[in-house]
Amino acid sequence: MQTSIFLAKLIGPAFVAVGVGLLTNFPVYQAIVADFLRSYALIYVSGVLVLIAGLAIVNLHNVWARDWRVIITIFGWLLTIGVVIRIVVPQFVISVAASMFSHTYAIAAGICLVVLGGFLVCKVYLSHSGATK
């Protein structure tokens, strides 16, 4: 449980920050994504670095319980699978990301990140059960 709380304290605020950024500053995020997608080297290097983070989560927190902790496990697996695809076929990632990063997608992603991140933050910072376990 301590690992779950630790990871939620890292992931929750990060999700909220990125989600709020997407919702409030979409044009800048759109420019960041466009710059990112112009560089195979940046896609590859970021993929390798994020793969380490994804594998760390999967190895430290492979918890398939029927509670809030499964969010962290699913995130770790999705992160790991996503970055393996980024490393192996970066050209596919470029074509998918370029077509997906629209204003509608950004709003949906921003809302999902704020909700999931907010849930994790509440669970570990505000909730009595998260603070004591």
Average pLDDT, the chain: 91
Residues 45-74: pLDDT tens digits? 999 999 999 999 999 999 999 999 999 999
Q: Tens of pLDDT along 18-28?
A: 999 999 999 99
Q: What pLDDT does residue 132 have?
A: 47
Distances (CA, A) of 51 to 58, 78, 86, 93: 10, 11, 10, 15
Does residue 133 sit in helix, strand or coil?
A: coil
pTM: 0.86
Report whether pLDDT(128) > 60.
no
